[in-house]
Structure 1
């Protein structure tokens, strides 16, 4: 007859009874080991050396933010240099020459090349108008004046093409260069540019005034040969 207190026929060891032969007692946790209780999480892994846990982690050991840099701070855009228009950068970081300085350079060069020729022309014209044998001498003076004026003009073009500066440009502190390379354009291109100045005289000399509002401060001749005038 079974035990009424053990309906399934399983005997529990009484007080002080040991489990039967071949049965192992339940394993006990090792020395110093704690079993996590209900709802407890195992301990989290400690952060590495130099790392701070939690919100807003600090940079690792030895890492500092750059000098003058703040988190999330952006540098303001670079302002164009004086004389430059936004969106155009002069080759080599130079500054475009102002219209007034260019006019001053032309005026100085005109005096250098035109003054001797003009003086000889008016003298020759006055002598030639007197008639007689002196008229031939007056015509000769006029021719000499034209040759001197033309020679001085070519010499100024040579200086402008090889160095980028005539005497007038040098006095005004400006220089003619290629818009692509930033270097002088050579005598041939300087001569071609001088011829192209005829386009600046069309439509009431509008091309000579074009640098006042142009992005690259170019005349029509400058646009044809792709040149710019910069501060030296």
Structure 2
């Protein structure tokens, strides 16, 4: 092979192995950092994105700049959240009535406990309760977009008690919050999306 021939299969000229990170064809068009999101690009500007290099890595807070992080589905509007809660409330109400007829005064308490466990399980494993499935919303971890897990989902449902304090202020908070989070969402670091 001569010096002027192109390298075989994208290797360095002359068929010799090159050191890792070197481009045998000249400068990287995305800058010295290899086009890594958040790092300087060809014009000294950060690359768009802010995507973490490993699962669970913190992302840049794009909401502080009035933008949504790249790759994140749109956040659910407050109206969709309310509609999902109404649907879930109707389901729990019907279960309370049925169990009250069957078990007496203990029925509504058992129905509420079952709803906490079942809805927590569904939200933790799928990100959706029946109400969220009906309207197409989903609750996910803010950091990596995965489902919460059963324990965190049940904890989030219990923390809605804080949202109910002070005249339901926590439930109204998504109306003006940049990430559209309730107090419970902020504590467990979750977001509700509508893909």
- What's the TM-score, normalizing by structure 2? 0.62
Structure showing the higher helix proportion among its residues: 2
Match of 1:87 in 2: 66
161-170 or 107-116, larger mean C-alpha shift: 107-116
**Number of the residue aligned with 1:115:** 94
Structure whose CA Rg is larger: 1
Deviation at residue 111 of structure 1 after TM alignment: 1.1
Number of aligned residues: 134
Task: Write out aligned runs for 1:14-53 (5 A).
Answer: none
1:120 is displaced (CA, Å) by 4.0
Moved over 6 A (4+): none
User: Residues 185 and 91 of structure 1: is their aligned pair in 2 closer, same or farther, counting only changes over 3 Å?
Assistant: farther
Per-residue deviation, 1:88: 3.8
Structure 1: where are the runs of 5+ without partners?
1-77, 79-83, 125-139
Specify the alignment match of 1:152 in structure 2. 115
Q: Does the alignment pair 1:200 with 2:163?
A: yes
Stretches of structure 2 lacking an aligned partner (at least 5 in a row): 1-47, 49-61
CA RMSD of aligned residues (A): 2.2
Aligned 8 A contact 1:104 1:172 in 2:
yes
Q: TM-score, normalised by structure 1?
A: 0.53
Asked if structure 2 preserves the Cα contact closer than 8 Å seen for 1:164 and 1:184, the reply is: yes
**CA displacement at 1:142 relative to structure 2:** 2.5
- 2:194 alignment counterpart: 231
